[in-house]
Amino acid sequence: MLGTILLLALRSIRRHVLRSLLTMLGIVIGVAAVVSMVTLGKATTAAVTQQIAALGTNILQVRPGQGFGRGGGGPAPRDFEPADIMAIRQQVGGVTAVAPQASASGTAIYEGANWSTTINGTTSDFFKIQPWPLQTGRSFNEDEETAGKSVCIIGSTVSTNLFRGADPIGKRFRIGEVSCDVIGLLTTKGQAGFGGDQDDIVIMPIKTVQRRFLGTTAIRTILVGVDQNYSTEQVQQTLTRLLRERRHITEGKDDDFNIFDTKQISDTLTQTTTMLTRIVAAVAAISLVVGGIGIMNIMLVSVTERTREIGIRLAIGAVASEVLLQFLVEAVVLSCLGGLIGLLLAQLVVGVATPLMDLPWIFDPAVNLGAFAVSAAIGVIFGYFPARRAASLNPIDALRHE
């Protein structure tokens, strides 16, 4: 019995190729649109989250000047001094590490290969604050830092362009006027959230950079790592008080430095991605509705034709339940087939789009299942209920349906 019904359903699908394809198309598009959009939205969220993690949390970045950059007119704000670093270490509670930073740029040369890059002078504390492990080699030791030796840790971009895949550890290359020994290679960090290749960098002891490249002991930036058990706000307040005092800023005057809390960025980004996820969900819901209406239309358009067909089947001796079961099987087969094709299409779209958009590839079973279930349900419901109505008519009324 069930075999007969299945045979009838499959025959009917095969005979009405266009109608079947149009029905499936609605479901295919509905599922593909929902799944690819939600997946890409989720991938974006994941990418942003990764970047937030890479940024490091609980870091205060101290720069001279008000706000971002040096600001408008006025005299250029003073840089920080090495003594400021010592003072912060000793007088601010809840600080895990303090890393001064001074940067320069130069062209690195090694056996005919040359590469323009950024030189970042800092101390080994930099690696205690930034979540940026070494791939091979080691960080600076105290001796190298205090003496300002020409040793460096390089980013993967510099290593690739200078050493062409060879192990860079122990090699000596020239950068500007300085000969420099490679002691460490950083892991690849990738693109920064705001553009720029983070791996295009050479890190040297700050003393070396100050002495050999800048000719001053000025410190442009101070990174302060905050203990997880302390609130960054509180540490920021203490730090501000200390720096105002040290920089002789009188009561009522504005700070001539600014402290930037990475937690603020991560909070802002998290808010943005949450909003993004909501928008994506809304768009997905809309496309699901649109897809559903497409399915509905095809099903309703074919009702007249199918009502007569139901009348014929009833007249030649089919029981209503047999006719209904056949229509149900047709709807289930078409909906599920359409849903599966939609899922495959979505994987294709995601697979092509994620590398292009620089997003991680993700597969969310809940999204796939959900979209499939909803579309298939719409297909089955709108395939089945008009048929049920038709089968409840007297055969002669179904036959005469116009």
Partner 1 sequence: MAGTESPAAPIISLRGITKVFGTGETAFRALKGVDLDIAAGDFVAVMGPSGSGKSTMMNILGCLDVSTSGAFLFHGHHVEDLDRDQRALLRRRYLGFVFQGFNLLARTSALENVELPLLYRGDAKQNRRQEAMAALEKVGLADWAGHTPGELSGGQQQRVAIARAIVTNPEILLADEPTGNLDSQRSVEIMEFLATLNRDSGITVLMVTHEPDMAEYARRIVHFKDGLIDRIEEAGRRPEAMGGTTGGVTG
What is the contact surface with partner 1 in residues (CB under 8 A)?
1, 4, 7-8, 11, 15-16, 305, 308-309, 311-322, 394-397, 399
Q: Measured from the CB atom, is 19 or 42 closer to partner 1?
A: 19
Closest approach of Cβ 17 to partner 1, in Å?
Answer: 9
Integer CA distances (angstroms), 398 to 96, 263, 317, in order: 82, 69, 14
Distance CA(234)–CA(222), nearest Å, equals: 17
Q: Measured from the CB atom, is 170 or 317 closer to partner 1?
A: 317
Integer CA distances (angstroms), 145 to 33, 205, 239, in order: 56, 5, 25
Distance CA(115)–CA(176), nearest Å, equals: 11
Residues 6+ apart with CB under 8 A from 382: 295, 296, 299, 300, 331
Q: Strand pairing of 178-186 and 172-175?
A: antiparallel
Closest approach of Cβ 273 to partner 1, in Å?
Answer: 52
Structure tokens at 312: 């014929």
Closest approach of Cβ 373 to partner 1, in Å?
Answer: 32
Closest approach of Cβ 22 to partner 1, in Å?
Answer: 15
Closest approach of Cβ 278 to partner 1, in Å?
Answer: 47
| Contact by Cβ (8 Å): 100, 140 | no
Hey, how many other C-beta atoms are within 10 angstroms of the C-beta on 57?
16
Q: Measured from the CB atom, is 1 or 366 closer to partner 1?
A: 1
> Which stretches does DSSP call E strand in 111-196?
113-122, 134-137, 151-154, 172-175, 178-186
Closest approach of Cβ 336 to partner 1, in Å?
Answer: 23
Residue among 233, 232, 210, 189 nearest 119 (CA):
210
Q: Measured from the CB atom, is 183 or 324 closer to partner 1?
A: 324
Integer CA distances (angstroms), 231 to 235, 263, 325, in order: 7, 10, 65
Q: Measured from the CB atom, is 75 or 317 closer to partner 1?
A: 317
Closest approach of Cβ 356 to partner 1, in Å?
Answer: 44
* Type of residue numbered 327: F
Hey, how many other C-beta atoms are within 10 angstroms of the C-beta on 21?
14
CA 39, chain centre distance (Å): 11
Phi-psi region of 358 (alpha: psi -120 to 50; beta: other; left: phi over 0): left
Integer CA distances (angstroms), 160 to 113, 121, 128, 135, 143, in order: 10, 21, 25, 14, 29
Q: Measured from the CB atom, is 259 or 310 closer to partner 1?
A: 310
Q: Measured from the CB atom, is 16 or 246 closer to partner 1?
A: 16
Hey, how many other C-beta atoms are within 10 angstroms of the C-beta on 10?
14
| Contact by Cβ (8 Å): 12, 326 | yes
Closest approach of Cβ 314 to partner 1, in Å?
Answer: 6
Task: Assign 109 to helix, strand or coil.
Answer: strand
Q: Measured from the CB atom, is 358 or 397 closer to partner 1?
A: 397
Q: Measured from the CB atom, is 15 or 248 closer to partner 1?
A: 15
Closest approach of Cβ 7 to partner 1, in Å?
Answer: 8
Structure tokens at 110: 């090694």
Closest approach of Cβ 330 to partner 1, in Å?
Answer: 14
| Contact by Cβ (8 Å): 124, 139 | yes
Q: Measured from the CB atom, is 52 or 391 closer to partner 1?
A: 391
Closest approach of Cβ 341 to partner 1, in Å?
Answer: 23
Q: Measured from the CB atom, is 301 or 357 closer to partner 1?
A: 301
